[in-house]
Amino acid sequence: MDVNPFRRPGESPQAAGNRFERFWARVFGVEPTRGSGNQWFAKLDVPDGGAILWSCKSTDAESFRLTKATMREAQEAATGMGSSGEMIPGVATAVDGEVLVTLRAEDFLRMFTANVKYITPSKGEQKRLRAKVPELLREDDE
């Protein structure tokens, strides 16, 4: 039996879902949206600070039913009234401890064809990457 890293013994599924939201926000170095799910103005769970507005779902089961309504909710929050209209809707799901990501095919393809730089590396990672390039071959603006 696999252990779900987002669920503690005896706690509610909501607490596990909140833990997953905090985990997913930390992946992008942001904070989860306070009041998401219970405030009309709190759109979805995690704005990644870049291109995608995430709806986070968590289950201990071995499957999760993804419906068109779930994707529509994410799409309306990402592109509807009160949004910038440029965000990509996404669903991040913790299914029995494994994290899965769902995007609409058109958005997935747009990210690759538009050459979107999705996550900016940390300052330390940028320095390590720069150090791998010999000094003579580095760009002047680096």
* Residue 36 confidence (pLDDT): 63
Cα separation, 125 vs 44, whole angstroms = 30
pLDDT digits (tens, 9 = 90+) for 6-36: 878 888 888 888 888 888 888 888 887 776 6
* Of the options 1.20.120, 2.60.40, 3.40.1350, 3.40.50, the CATH number for the domain spanning 13-117: 3.40.1350
> What residues form DSSP beta bridges with 90?
54, 103
* Alpha carbons 141 and 71: distance in angstroms, whole number: 42
Residue 136, pLDDT > 50, answer: yes
Return the domain boundaries, the chain.
13-117
Question: What per-residue confidence (pLDDT) applies to 13?
Answer: 82
Tens-digit pLDDT profile for residues 79-99: 776 555 678 889 999 998 899
82 and 42 Cβ atoms separated by less than 8 Å:
no
Confidence of residue 1 (pLDDT cuts 50, 70, 90): very low
* Res 32: pLDDT: 77
Angstrom distance (rounded) from CA 115 to CA 119: 12
Q: Per mean pLDDT, which range of 10-19, 62-71, 129-138 is the poorest?
A: 129-138
Cβ count within 10 A of residue 12? 10
What is the spatial distance between Cα 129 and Cα 68, in angstroms, rounded to a whole number? 41
Give the H/E segment covering residue 79. helix 68-79
pLDDT in tens, 96-130: 889 999 999 998 888 878 765 566 666 777 777 77
